[in-house]
Amino acid sequence: MVLIKALETQSGAMRLLLYLLKGPSYVTLILKETDIPNIQLLRSVELLIDLKLIQKKIDSSSYPKRNIITLTNKGRQIALKVKEIEALLKES
């Protein structure tokens, strides 16, 4: 229950999981393509890393260096469940 509550209380966490189903991304692009405010996104990233649902790697091949964010296997499974829930909610 406590882990579900963590996801509930961090606005943007589930939207971030859904967004990352498209593939790895970095914070600047996520901010540009979603409606998640900056501070909420940063807190969501921290929470999801703590829950081992995403991982952050540094891409040093670009300048400036970028933090690439990807789903873990568990994160992908949970994101797919969230996507299912969203689809059910959209049904009339």
Please check whether the domain covering 2-90 is classified as CATH 3.10.450.240: no
Rounded to two decimals, the pTM is: 0.90
Distance CA 16, CA 54 (A): 10
Which tens digit of pLDDT belongs to each residue from 32-63? 999 999 999 999 999 999 999 999 999 888 88
Above pLDDT 70, what percent of the chain? Answer: 98
For the chain, the structural domain boundaries read: 2-90
Structure token pair of residue 52: 């081992």
Strands (E), the chain: 25-26, 54-59, 66-71
